[in-house]
Structure 1
Amino acid sequence: MAPPLLQLRDIALTFGGTPLLTSADLSVSAGERVCLIGRNGSGKSTLLKIAAGLIEPDKGSVFTQPGASIRYLPQEPDLSDFQTTFAYVEAGLGPTDDAHRARYLLEQLGLRGDEEPAHLSGGETRRAALARALAPEPDILLLDEPTNHLDLPTIEWLEGELMQSRSASVLISHDRRFLENLTRTTVWLDRGRTRRLDLGFGAFETWRDQALAEEERDQHKLDRKIVAEEHWIRYGVTARRTRNERRVAELQALRQQRRAYKSVQGKAVISVSEAEKSGSLVIEAETIAKTFGERPVVRDFSTRIMRRDRIGVVGPNGGGKTTLVKLLTGVLAPDSGDVRIGANVQMAALEQDRDSLDPNSTLVDALTQGRGEQAMVAGRHVATYMKEFLFQPEQARTPLRNLSGGERARLMLARALAQPSNLLVLDEPTNDLDLETLDVLEELLADYAGTIVLISHDRDFLDRIVNAVFAPEGNGRWLEYAGGYNDMLAQRGGDFALRGVKPAKTEKSAAAAAPPRPAKEAKRRLSFHEKHALETLPAEMKKLQTNIASLQIILDDHTLYARDRAMFEKATAALSKAQTDLAAAEERWLELEILREEIDAQ
């Protein structure tokens, strides 16, 4: 095996009296693609900063091969010291690096190079920082949440760029599809320590679950051994006479081992306040249009959204996703066309812009709208509600400016889900959430009895949640596709960048652009909608079979028609409907079961 370009050994670091890292290792060889996985707050970003030389650990060693170059992408890039985006990217080049590559990357990422940093959006800032990290083609790339605030075309472009790059990379990301497509090694940071798996992220979750199950068994054995030793100390005949010092010392060591064990932090217990059921029709739009200046954002778009629909809205940043959703939900009036909101619709919205949070406000005030620490939120005491979203009691008075990106994301989610609703509008809910919290959010949305409109750039999340996708076709036209993100790609011909969806480039940049690379086909997964159907259909079929048997008993009475013709006709119609429903349920279950077996066999 080639010697590592970068090696961190036995890294320890304490912040504010609390150990964050206790024994963390990280090794990166030439060309290796590593994903660094862990919960929000576990120390992933800190470990990456140590690797980049930005933080000194309290203990441990950091070795970099002489002459090896490293570039680091922070979660929150700072361009404030530079006049333009090109000046920022150019400042990251070495003496022998090519400035033309810097311009090429900026153009590929939809930037001109003359933008003033003070006027950049979050997505534009992230694209400039990516260009700065990629331009020198370093030996090692350290990328902290590189897909945050990026649109789908840019994420897929970045995947292709990293696949072809000679640089080794360490990736922190919540984007499952991105990690599955790119990584070949997984490092799991858990409770201050790291474990390494020489397989990509696709194998991580099974491996993690097995490791935690083994750990739980080991702790159970340790607890039983401690109980047995304590019993011997108290009641053993020999112990009462001589108090065997060796056995007493062993018991003390076992107790110390148990005290030193740090249990896994519990999962978030996300819940949503549901309002009364809406009418069957939630939103109906007829030939709506919206133009800003001379630019059509939405043109002649019609749709019907029914109760329990899960709609995904995708497209490039600035392509009109948020405008379309605001038109559909009545927040924004169309220039022409009509929007009708159905009966008894109550909407709760998660906004993407976290700048709406007052940085000087406390966590409790943000959740209770200033009603204090004894207020109720979503039917629970605010302290209980905070705990469900993994906030500790001591954080109640924490100013929001001190929260991490992941904590701010959970706070915004907690505020949105506390509002009673039967229509959820979620704008980029996955940004900065860790994978475990994403799992819980997916389960909640699968069980939500209302309707969901979801704006997201997370392909895996879309495939698991939605049953229809609205995607732009260019010049203000939007089309509705059945299924999830992969289904939409298949219907479009497999390329989301078709039909003018990506920002236009100059003729010069188009000529300089590398030929398109075929996207790696992502492994098909059951969506949460399909999983839910697989789990619930057997019970539904059993209920239908019981109903059919009961109706058959009623109709077996040969005197029924003569005695009560209305009852006979009602029972006959009910039997026919139940048999039709059973046949449809059985067919759907069989289709899903076959699909599940095909996926398991991949």
Structure 2
Amino acid sequence: MPPILNAQALSKSFGATPLFRDIAFTVSDGDRIGLIGPNGAGKSTLLKILAGEEDADAGDLAVRKKARIGYVRQESTFAPGKTVRDVLESALAAGHVADAEREGKLRETSGRIGLPDVSVEAATLSGGWRKRLAIAEAVVSAPDVLLLDEPTNHLDLAGIAWLEELLNQGEFASVIITHDRYFLENVSTEIVELNRVYADGLLRVDGTYSKFIEARQAYLDSQSRLEESLRNRVRTEIEWLRRGPKARATKAKARIDTAHQLIGQLKDVSARNQSSLVTVGFESTDRQTKRLVELNDVTIELGGKKIVEHLDFLITNGMRVGLVGPNGSGKTTILRLLKDELAPAAGEARKAGSLRIVYFSQTRELPESVTLRRALAPDSDSVVYQGRVVHVASYAQKFLFTGEQLNQPVERLSGGERARVLIARLMLEPADLLLLDEPTNDLDIATLEVLEESLLEYTGALVLVTHDRYMLDRVSTTVLGLDGKGSAAVFADYPQWEQWFLEQTAPKAEKEIRQESGAVAVSATAPVKKKLSYLEAREFAEIEERVEAADARLETAKARVGDPEVAVDAAKLTEALAEMETAQAEVDTLYARWAELTEKAG
């Protein structure tokens, strides 16, 4: 069958600024495409063109005959007075679903999104539930392809897991713009990065996000080698030109033309190879106090409702806390307590003297009417960054803002640009305790990676609220998890909290049946756990060390393959590659055995 969507030679600009030029993009049955790229690359615009909501400046878009396209925008809004039922019924009618099937489809869909009451007014739902409803609205009419623009925004961790399952089980193709790397890994069968660093304007790789990272690095390495090769050739041609060849000779003229072509090609490759990354570095106060905040038997109430009860928690210097829980569980409320915007209803919140707290709010509050210059430097044309006076233009450039943007009002900035402004402002404030409430929203993956590195280098204490599971895993040294029912507990990492939360919220298994003898019988549905034998227990105790040793051998083998002296010697390279394959096989075998023993140990 032909592709569902087939776009060729698409170009789009905003004013004089080109977003993309002459790109090709196809979507076929079964595709689950993760669409990524830096802020401003034109991802959302491309999705609107594919959805038929915007026209390209040039190029063609062919849609397969009778194909249905579902489109979910970044912001999910519904008309006042419209109920969930109204929204879904309108979608069923627009999708020409038979009248006899509509009620069944409606009930099935509302159940799948977890909304049993379809009489609720859609506009009054929380951001997360509105997002779920918008996705259901697009799915209910059985589209051939579903286009999703930042669908994980506003979804809590349970909502993200729900969406992953929906996409993995759906019969429709999908194109998903997201910066959630775990989501991309779990859902995507292809990754497309829209970025001007690529000669074709984009890079498309079959496989998961981790496969894409490998392919992208290989591409960038090849481009670096191409640039070096062109540079050497251009150097030779320039030396030849300097010797003053006679342009009248046919061969000389052809070589002059070739030299100019090489110079132009080198210029293009060099321009693409130049990376544009935000340079972020949070500043701590180098405070020596160990205990910064102590929460003793704290209960927090909001609007007469108990958000958290009997919370005991200690924040020490250098601690990086991931604060997790479902939407409405009280994460932002706890940050407000730490910031002294709220007092505990019971218990004690004790803070170290003169504690300097810097807070990043998820509401992204910025003075709309002021210029970017005044948002960064309210009183002068310079800022003090890490003890040095820096001109505001130079400081703004660190966050990829141009000189022209300095005099533009903040209200004209995109969501990602606003996030960068807020981070830039935070960097100017030395802190003992950094409170970050959803800092990852609207940031592209490259900026997320730089932000992660900065948080890892930050020496003060940190409390981080984010739905980005990868960042939680990488940055947090401990996790404070909430269940949404007033309970809180401390965990070593995010997966441990996730398992606890699922156990808390899962329906209770059928009760154990007591036998007449008084012994407790296991539920018929419960698997019988196998026990480790004596030899297996000894193997299990030693296997972690064996895995570490095997990993070390594999790294050594990889380093040998990458050694320039080995790479130019065919015999040595063959030997090194065989050694690396053997080491990789050993690592794979050990990890598989470790997983088997871990499951058996229960």
TM bin (shorter chain): 0.7 to 0.9
TM-score (norm 1): 0.78
How big is the shift at 1:403? Answer: 1.4
In the alignment, the residues of structure 2 paired with residue 456 and residue 273 of structure 1 have an alpha-carbon distance, to the nearest angstrom, of: 21
Partner of 2:447, secondary structure, is helix
State the partner residue of 1:273: 283
Partner of 2:418, secondary structure, is helix
TM-score (norm 2): 0.78
Cα distance per residue 1:364-404 (max 9 Å; x no partner): 22222x32544556642221221111112211122222212
Aligned equivalent of 1:314, options 304, 324, 338: 324
Partner of 2:265, secondary structure, is helix
State the partner residue of 2:234: 226
Partner of 2:9, secondary structure, is strand
In the alignment, the residues of structure 2 paired with residue 367 and residue 85 of structure 1 have an alpha-carbon distance, to the nearest angstrom, of: 43
Matches within 5 A, 1:113-262: 113-116=118-121, 119-191=124-196, 193-235=201-243, 244-261=252-269, 262=271
After superposition, the Cα gap between the structure-2 partners of 1:443 and 1:251, relative to the gap in structure 1 and judged at 3 Å, is same
The yes-or-no answer on 1:3 pairing with 2:28 is: no
State the partner residue of 1:470: 480
Aligned equivalent of 2:418, options 408, 411, 420: 408
State the partner residue of 2:450: 440
In the alignment, the residues of structure 1 paired with residue 372 and residue 150 of structure 2 have an alpha-carbon distance, to the nearest angstrom, of: 24
Cα distance per residue 1:188-244 (max 9 Å; x no partner): 211171221111212111211221121122122212212211111111676799992
After superposition, the Cα gap between the structure-2 partners of 1:395 and 1:110, relative to the gap in structure 1 and judged at 3 Å, is farther
Partner of 1:499, secondary structure, is helix
How big is the shift at 1:296? Answer: 1.6
Total equivalences in the alignment: 503
State the partner residue of 1:527: none
After superposition, the Cα gap between the structure-2 partners of 1:375 and 1:172, relative to the gap in structure 1 and judged at 3 Å, is same
Amino acid at match of 1:95: H
Identity of aligned residues (%): 37
Aligned equivalent of 1:292, options 294, 297, 302: 302
After superposition, the Cα gap between the structure-2 partners of 1:243 and 1:108, relative to the gap in structure 1 and judged at 3 Å, is closer
In the alignment, the residues of structure 2 paired with residue 167 and residue 410 of structure 1 have an alpha-carbon distance, to the nearest angstrom, of: 35
In the alignment, the residues of structure 1 paired with residue 374 and residue 455 of structure 2 have an alpha-carbon distance, to the nearest angstrom, of: 26
Amino acid at match of 1:428: E
How big is the shift at 1:328? Answer: 3.7
CA contact (8 A) 1:233 1:239 kept: no
CA contact (8 A) 1:474 1:499 kept: no
CA contact (8 A) 1:474 1:501 kept: no
After superposition, the Cα gap between the structure-2 partners of 1:229 and 1:85, relative to the gap in structure 1 and judged at 3 Å, is same
**More displaced, 101-110 or 410-419?**
101-110
In the alignment, the residues of structure 1 paired with residue 404 and residue 361 of structure 2 have an alpha-carbon distance, to the nearest angstrom, of: 27
CA contact (8 A) 1:13 1:21 kept: yes
CA contact (8 A) 2:360 2:435 kept: yes
State the partner residue of 2:96: 95
How big is the shift at 1:64? Answer: 1.1
In the alignment, the residues of structure 2 paired with residue 229 and residue 469 of structure 1 have an alpha-carbon distance, to the nearest angstrom, of: 60
**More displaced, 98-107 or 152-161?**
98-107
After superposition, the Cα gap between the structure-2 partners of 1:125 and 1:395, relative to the gap in structure 1 and judged at 3 Å, is farther
Cα distance per residue 1:526-563 (max 9 Å; x no partner): xxxxxxxx9xxxxxxxxxxxxxxxxxxxxxxxxxxxxx
In the alignment, the residues of structure 1 paired with residue 15 and residue 111 of structure 2 have an alpha-carbon distance, to the nearest angstrom, of: 43
Cα distance per residue 1:9-29 (max 9 Å; x no partner): 121112111221112221111
Aligned equivalent of 1:395, options 402, 405, 419: 405
How big is the shift at 1:344? Answer: 4.7
Partner of 1:396, secondary structure, is helix
Matches within 5 A, 1:279-428: 279-354=289-364, 356-368=365-377, 370-376=378-384, 379=388, 380-428=390-438
**More displaced, 30-39 or 380-389?**
380-389
C-alpha RMSD of matched pairs (Å): 2.8
How big is the shift at 1:257? Answer: 2.4
In the alignment, the residues of structure 2 paired with residue 8 and residue 242 of structure 1 have an alpha-carbon distance, to the nearest angstrom, of: 43
State the partner residue of 2:600: none
Amino acid at match of 2:290: S
Partner of 2:504, secondary structure, is coil
Cα distance per residue 1:410-433 (max 9 Å; x no partner): 122222232111211100111111
Cα distance per residue 1:474-496 (max 9 Å; x no partner): 531111112x2123234x2xxx3
Stretches of structure 1 that go unaligned for 5 or more consecutive residues are: 503-533, 535-593
Partner of 1:290, secondary structure, is strand
After superposition, the Cα gap between the structure-2 partners of 1:106 and 1:351, relative to the gap in structure 1 and judged at 3 Å, is farther
Amino acid at match of 1:171: I
In the alignment, the residues of structure 2 paired with residue 385 and residue 244 of structure 1 have an alpha-carbon distance, to the nearest angstrom, of: 49
The yes-or-no answer on 1:453 pairing with 2:463 is: yes
In the alignment, the residues of structure 1 paired with residue 186 and residue 360 of structure 2 have an alpha-carbon distance, to the nearest angstrom, of: 29
Cα distance per residue 1:103-160 (max 9 Å; x no partner): 5545554554445565454434323322222222311010111001111111111111
Amino acid at match of 2:368: P
CA contact (8 A) 1:102 1:132 kept: no
Amino acid at match of 2:76: P
Amino acid at match of 1:396: L
In the alignment, the residues of structure 2 paired with residue 434 and residue 175 of structure 1 have an alpha-carbon distance, to the nearest angstrom, of: 9
In the alignment, the residues of structure 2 paired with residue 418 and residue 123 of structure 1 have an alpha-carbon distance, to the nearest angstrom, of: 33
In the alignment, the residues of structure 2 paired with residue 108 and residue 337 of structure 1 have an alpha-carbon distance, to the nearest angstrom, of: 40
Amino acid at match of 1:313: L
Matches within 5 A, 1:29-40: 29-40=28-39
CA contact (8 A) 1:279 1:344 kept: no
CA contact (8 A) 2:245 2:252 kept: no
After superposition, the Cα gap between the structure-2 partners of 1:109 and 1:363, relative to the gap in structure 1 and judged at 3 Å, is farther
CA contact (8 A) 1:473 1:501 kept: no
